[in-house]
Amino acid sequence: MQNIRNIAVIAHVDHGKTTLVDGLLEQSGTFGDHEQHDERAMDSNDLEKERGITILSKNTAIRYKDYKINIIDTPGHADFGGEVERVLKMVDGVLVLVDAYEGVMPQTKFVVKKMLAMGKKPIVVINKIDKPSADPDRVVDEMFDLFADMDATDDQQDFPVIYAAARDGIAKLDMDEEGGDFQCIFETILEHIPEPEGDKDNPAQAQVFTLDYDNYVGKIGISRIFNGTIKKGDNVMLAKADGEMVKGRITKLIGFHGLNRMEIEEAEAGDIVAMAGLETIDVGDTICDPVNPVALDPMHIEEPTLTVVFSVNDSPLAGQEGKHVTSNKIKDRLEAEMNTNVAMKFEVVGEGKFKVSGRGELQITVLAENMRREGFEFGISRPEVIRKEIEGVKCEPFEHLVIDVPEELGGTVIERLGKRKAEMKSMVPMGQGFQRIEFEIPARSLIGFRGQFLTDTKGEGVMNHSFIEYRPFSGEVESRPYGALISSENGEAVAYSIFNLQNRGVMYVKPQTKVYEGMIIGEHSKSNDLTVNPIKGKQQSNVRSSGADDAIKLVPPRDMSLERALEWIEDDELLEITPENVRIRKKFLTETERKRASRK
């Protein structure tokens, strides 16, 4: 058996997974002295760098002593839970990271539950112990309680604890020790993580857990070899999830070391490698021996809970900013996304309309953001939750919601959530004037809540949620309290008009913004929609008047990002997304069409 250890790093969002992997790469001597690398080196895609979050799981390998340690960095957002579920099947042990102040959060519970169910061995890393408000002892107790609640085995409950400040490269087994380096993490991995099962002399068996794409070699399947040996040039059988068997040949075998990939000639059971040459390869497929093909269990990924409709952009400004505007282009792009993203699904629902289902708003907005950067132009409808009928009862998804708010603002948030059918489960003080309140709430009640929440908590509140289960439908929930200001004309917005409209609500456009009839240019201060004219200039005359030279003072418009706009819109509205703009509009652009639709 090769000296291999396979581990995944799992945690709630922003608890320091990618920073810890940086430290492991750095301190294992994987980077040469001359190599330059960025902070959070594993977050390689542009969106990940900008937002400081991990979206796609990525793997790397380091050498320590005579061992090869394969490490997979996973996302922390609940929306990307599908990535985490796949990865756990590929590893033999897990580093569970927990923030020394925030403690156990919804996503920590989600990933720990999955990990324990699969029987993986955990190592708990209490990270960010250098925070002034850190309380590592409380967090260790929380972890013990969590493992007990989740029915962990005795072996799993007997987990080693490491205290770390990953950003500074410090790790130690005891809080009273002076700062140490990451050597104790490497040693703990070798001691506690079991070596991979499987035998290199058995017939070959490998399973794909992530896909990559290369313009030269096509689809690449990143796979864990469970049995046998796989060589470059081998003829293999690809066992698909639906039972179909496809013959193929491995044209390239790629190994990992640090941030580099290099071609290798062969790999044995227990290792994680990338393979090219199999054009129909998909996540969950088994690559097996053609003489004795034995497929591994296909992967079970939890179902999507949210859906939106992508449609061809049909606004008056369509086709002016994007390169790809036709329904065929949008369909091809969505199909390509589904090839690599198994937690999403899509179907054609009409002429130029595509229903895309995912795990949450963030997952859908990340796809939309990537598409607009690639030059696509399209419309998106308001997110809707996917309802199911279970034993004759109409059911909807429920979420576990955890919010951290300043103590004096807790009452406002509880009142808001009460109107949205949330049920409070616990409230505990967190120190530093903050308290943590936990709720169970219908998933649809969270659509549009984040913006309101940030306003209510003056930007200091933090909210996190993860899917619990489907429960019986809980009745209607109040929607957006304010109406929209709708443009009645086509043209360019004028400062004079915007100045006169400011006392009607919050504006989303500035002077010289292109507007069209039916486009939403602001939020009305009352609950009804109001049609206004943003392009009306001041009437000039040759008669002097006392107010002629009054200065026009404009309030800066509210910046509507893609996420914020998607949360804000109602059922009769759409987002028009182009490479340069995110516009909000009514589905029916003219007043007459809207009146006719409202009568139906």
Q: How far is residue 40's CA from residue 55's CA, in Å, rounded to a whole number?
A: 13
Confirm or deny that 252 is annotated as ligand binding.
no
436, 430 contact by CB (below 8 A): yes
275, 235 contact by CB (below 8 A): no
Confirm or deny that 92 is annotated as ligand binding.
no
Confirm or deny that 289 is annotated as ligand binding.
no
Assign residue 512 a region: left if phi > 0, alpha if psi is -120 to 50, beta otherwise? left
Which residues, 6 or more positions from 59, have their beta carbon under 8 angstroms from its beta carbon? Answer: 70, 71, 72, 73, 210, 222, 256, 272
Confirm or deny that 350 is annotated as ligand binding.
no
CA dihedral 522, 528, 531, 537 (to 10 degrees): -50
Q: Where are the alpha helices (DSSP H) in 408-550?
A: 410-419, 449-456, 495-501
Confirm or deny that 592 is annotated as ligand binding.
no
Confirm or deny that 212 is annotated as ligand binding.
no
Confirm or deny that 242 is annotated as ligand binding.
no
Residue 487 φ/ψ, nearest 5 degrees: -70, 140
Pairing of strands 205-214, 121-127: unpaired
Confirm or deny that 15 is annotated as ligand binding.
yes
- Residues pairing with 68 in the sheet: 4, 63
**330 CA to centre of own chain:** 21
Q: How far is residue 131's CA from residue 436's CA, in Å, rounded to a whole number?
A: 18
- Of 60, 76, 80, which Cα lies nearest the Cα of 14? 76
- Of 285, 191, 184, which Cα lies nearest the Cα of 238? 285
576, 313 contact by CB (below 8 A): yes
Q: How far is residue 198's CA from residue 192's CA, in Å, rounded to a whole number?
A: 18
Q: How far is residue 246's CA from residue 223's CA, in Å, rounded to a whole number?
A: 17
- Here the tokens at position 58 are 């990525």
- Please, what is the end-to-end C-alpha distance for the chain in angstroms? 70
Confirm or deny that 34 is annotated as ligand binding.
no
Which residues, 6 or more positions from 7, have their beta carbon under 8 angstroms from its beta carbon? Answer: 69, 70, 71, 72, 91, 92, 93, 94, 95, 189, 193
129, 100 contact by CB (below 8 A): yes
Residue 311 φ/ψ, nearest 5 degrees: -140, 165
45, 340 contact by CB (below 8 A): no
514, 317 contact by CB (below 8 A): yes
533, 586 contact by CB (below 8 A): no
Q: Look up residue 317 and give its amino acid.
A: L
- Residues pairing with 220 in the sheet: 212, 276
- Here the tokens at position 312 are 């061809």
Give the residue numbers of the binding site for GTP. 14-19, 127-130
**Residues of each annotated binding site:** 14-19, 127-130
